[in-house]
Structure 1
């Protein structure tokens, strides 16, 4: 039986993933590194309530078979670009370095569709830099998911979420053929794909929304 590490378990995708791992008999222990409790009472779940910006201080606890990194903030939540980068770049990269140091061979991270190392847009460039630094660790099985707009019910801004989901569903009708990767995607779908990816170990390292949906159905 396996041990998994989950980062970002209080967010939409990470929370859904945690629920799925708890129900999966292949997992004995799920270590959750988080700034606040998930509220999950399963005996499988071992929470480390920490400042995630100090993750590198928990090397001896960061031991598992697989790492699922679902960390991410938004420009709306985190207006300070320095703080934003310390979260969206710093935490995943630190996690990848710890995984490499501790011999963890499977590392998955949720990035974003617009990730681009050379982008002039700060947020896209940050995601691109994160991906590049994660890949530099040369972890044997590394998977970077680049979903488009993620749909789902979050705790905050329920009205805005409902409106956004409606617009996204409408726009999806026009995204066909090679544009399918730009379709919005449910957090539930991403969570299922993450769990499947570590079993299937696909050839691709960078996985877009259309492929994420395919993997979630396998």
Structure 2
């Protein structure tokens, strides 16, 4: 039995990944805790609670893999503290819950520029999150660092909509990437045999790691 924990299932990348996992015959069950209810879907167990931490603690089902697609912006979160809660605390808690339940690998959406020593708050928090996951001692940890994400969000981010055309013209890791490609990358990497204990996939490399 292949049982998955997916946090961030209602987000831009997470919603694409959820559909890929549902359609995969190797997956028997997807536990997707969310703050707002998902439509009823086969294979999906959807605990709902305003605070995601309250849903992770009581989980008792054994797991094989954890996917974490949580992410927000400081503006969307409303404060630095709320941003840290989503992009650091809940991601780390997802990892701890997965390890407690026997998962052997974790795959995470981070961000281009993640660096715990960055002078930029967003990048610094992402880097601190990555370091915390590294110290959890996963047998396999995959960190995917996309640049600006393209795709239709339920909650619009005005700044990203304005920047998207510009980021599409930038070179290398700065070039924008479609959320579906990020989801496909996570999905593909999860089923590769062996591999490094910690694998970092930069934004420009996402397409070639997606198939």
Q: How high is the TM-score relative to the length of structure 2?
A: 0.91
Map of 1:186 onto structure 2: 178
Aligned to 1:52: 52
Question: Residue 195 of structure 1: which of 187, 192, 204 is its match?
Answer: 187
- CA deviation after TM superposition for structure 1 residue 84, in Å: 1.1
Indicate how the Cα distance of structure 1 residues 165 and 139 shifts in structure 2: closer, same or farther if over 3 A, else same. Answer: same
Q: Is the 8 A contact 2:106 2:140 kept in 1?
A: yes
Distance in 1, Cα, partners of 2:85 & 2:159 = 27
CA contact (8 A) 1:154 1:161 kept: no
Structure that is richer in helix per residue: 1
Contact 1:151-1:187 at 8 Å conserved across structures = yes
Q: Which ranges in structure 1 are unaligned for 5 or more consecutive residues?
A: none
1:214: which partner in 2? 208
Q: Please give the secondary structure, in 2, of the residue aligned with 1:128.
A: helix
**Bigger Cα displacement from structure 2, 150-159 vs 78-87:** 150-159
TM-score by structure 1 length? 0.88
Is residue 33–residue 48 contact of structure 1 (8 Å, CA) maintained in 2? Answer: yes
1:90 corresponds in structure 2 to: 89
How far apart are the structure 2 equivalents of 1:80 and 1:158? 16
Match of 1:113 in 2: 112
Q: Deviations over 1:100-125 (max 9, x none)?
A: 22221010110111211111222111
Point out where structure 2 has 5 or more consecutive residues left out of the alignment.
none
Within a 5 Å distance, the mapping from 1:148-167 to structure 2 comes to 148-157=147-156, 162-167=161-166
Q: Give RMSD over aligned pairs.
A: 1.8
**Kept after mapping to 1: 8 A contact 2:57/2:97:** no
Q: Distance in 1 between matches of 2:165 and 2:142?
A: 30
Deviation at residue 159 of structure 1 after TM alignment:
7.1
Residue by residue, what CA displacement relative to the aligned partner does 1:80-134 show, whole Å, maximum 9, x if unpaired?
Answer: 1111111110001011112222221010110111211111222111111111001
Q: How many residues align?
A: 208
